[in-house]
Structure formats: C-alpha cells, structure tokens
C-alpha cells in the first residue's frame, strides 16, 4: 500500500496594502478610501502590464483599511520592480484630482508561498505581519505625505527569487531595497524595504532597525524565521460569488499599532 501524501498548493504571490491613518476617518470616509485604494491599484497594475493578471486575481479581499489578493508568482519581477513607482504615481494623480483631501498613503507588502484557493495559510499571515511591522510604519510616519505616499516591504524569499533570477525588473535594482528585520508578535524575519525615489545610500539608516548590508547585492539566505512559534492563521468571513468576492479578515489577538 502506497504511503499517503498530499499535493503542495500552488505558489501564489500575495500583494497586500494598508492605508495610513484609516481609523481617523468617518465610516463614510472609510468606504470611499477603500474604493479609492482599489482604483489606484487597478491603475498602477495596468500601467505595468498587469491588468489581465489583476482582473483574474485569486482570493480578493478588502481588509477594511486595505486590500489583499493573490497573483501568479511569475509577475513578481513587475511587482518588485515597476509596480511601486507606478503606485506612487497613481497616488500623486489621486492627490492632484482631490485638492483639499488628505493625501492617501499606502503601505505595501509582497510575499510568496503555497496557498489554497481560499488564501488561508501561513504565507497570508506573514504578508500581513510584514505590513504591520513598525519599521514600515515609521517610514510613513516620518515622510511628508505630499512627497512620499508609498512604502514597500518584500519578504526574503521574494527578494531572492527576483534578484537572484537575473530577470529584468525595469529600472529598479536590488540596491533600492534595504534589509531590515520585521518583528510582529511571534514573527521575526528578515525583510527588504523600498521607498520609490529614495536612495538608501543617502538615508540615515540608524533611525530604523536596519540590518548590516552584505557586500554582495544578493546576500545569502538567512533563516526564514527565528520565531519559536508560527503565526496564527486568520479567519475569513466571505460573501458574494463569481469573480467578485467580499471578505472580512479577523486575526487572533490584537494587530499591534493603529493603522
């Protein structure tokens, strides 16, 4: 009798975004911002040739103050390379079209891993943990909203898969990502930070918890996690059918600082 085993779920790139100071808005304002987030994501992804991929995205979920969806991992070079600047440009256009409105600033998290069609799994949890990392929040906290509207964190796995492949990432190079450590709840993992237009060589990295850079642009892989326990999976409440889904996500325990 053959031993029992299961097929690994397909690898999926996970793209998640959160809006800064979302809780400061009224309920009506929150609804408008969530719609605007989806609009700028569509605009930015279309600008880098990912419109068809976005329209066929997996497990699309609005998270109240943000949005998350799965994409084919083959588009990671675009997500890491071209997308952040395109998103920043879309947010600048949004600000110019809405004078007098507070500038919309987004935190972006990009990860990859095996996930079922529901999106439930450790890579999804890790994606949101990265998004909640204080080091990412601090970047927007110190930024001028009129100048910097986008900050990005990618996982070590994404960094290695993209930059060790040697594939083109547009005008973006690995040096535009700065290594740091994400510490959220039980998760402690190396991550890479990116701010469109920022040269990390000119930045005072001492104000962040940034790990020492390796001499090589593609460092060897440190352990994926130093956590003693895996992050707990979220639960989802799903409504709707067909190509559009509405889902609310609930994490076990507090999520950290206010969004």
pLDDT of 101 reads 82
Residue 196 has pLDDT above 80, yes or no: yes
pLDDT of 211 reads 47
Q: What 3-state DSSP class applies to 85?
A: helix
Half-sphere exposure of 62 (CA within 13 A, CB side): 19
Residue 223 has pLDDT above 80, yes or no: no
Span 59-86, average pLDDT: 94
Joined tokens for residue 189? 């993992």
Comparing 11-25, 39-53, 195-209, 212-226, the range with the smallest average pLDDT is 212-226
Q: Distance between the two ends of the chain, CA-based, in angstroms?
A: 53
pLDDT of 15 reads 98
- Per cent of the chain over pLDDT 70 is 76
- Cα Rg of the chain, angstroms: 18
Higher pLDDT, 220 or 71: 71
pLDDT, one tens digit per residue, over 85-134 is: 999 999 999 999 988 888 899 999 999 999 999 999 999 999 999 999 99
Comparing 24-38, 73-87, 113-127, 225-239, the range with the smallest average pLDDT is 225-239
pLDDT of 256 reads 41
C-alpha span between 120 and 15 (Å, rounded): 14
C-alpha span between 143 and 105 (Å, rounded): 10
- Eight-state DSSP code of residue 171: B
Span 27-40, average pLDDT: 82
pLDDT of 217 reads 44
pLDDT of 251 reads 38
pLDDT of 48 reads 97
């Amino acid at each position: 009798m053959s031993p029992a085993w299961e097929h690994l779920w397909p690898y999926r790139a996970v793209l998640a975004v959160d809006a800064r100071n979302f809780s400061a808005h009224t309920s009506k304002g929150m609804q408008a911002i969530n719609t605007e987030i989806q609009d700028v994501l569509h605009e930015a992804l279309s600008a880098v040739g990912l419109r068809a991929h976005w329209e066929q995205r997996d497990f699309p979920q609005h998270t109240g103050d943000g949005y998350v969806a799965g994409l084919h991992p083959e588009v990671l070079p675009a997500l890491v390379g071209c997308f952040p600047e395109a998103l920043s440009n879309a947010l600048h256009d949004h600000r110019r079209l809405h004078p007098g409105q507070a500038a919309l600033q987004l935190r972006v998290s990009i990860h990859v891993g095996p996930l079922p069609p529901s999106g439930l799994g450790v890579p999804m949890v890790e994606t949101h943990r990265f998004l909640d990392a204080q080091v990412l929040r601090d970047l927007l906290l110190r930024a001028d909203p009129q100048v910097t509207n986008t900050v990005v964190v990618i996982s070590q796995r994404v960094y290695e898969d993209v930059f060790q492949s040697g594939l083109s990432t547009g005008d973006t190079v690995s040096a535009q990502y700065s290594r740091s450590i994400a510490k959220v709840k039980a998760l402690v993992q190396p991550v890479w930070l990116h701010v469109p237009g920022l040269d990390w060589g000119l930045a005072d990295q001492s104000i962040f918890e940034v790990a020492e850079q390796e001499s090589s642009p593609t460092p060897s892989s440190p352990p994926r996690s130093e956590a003693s326990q895996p992050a707990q999976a979220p639960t989802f409440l799903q409504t709707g059918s067909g190509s559009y889904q509405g889902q609310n996500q609930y994490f076990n325990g507090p999520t950290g600082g206010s969004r």
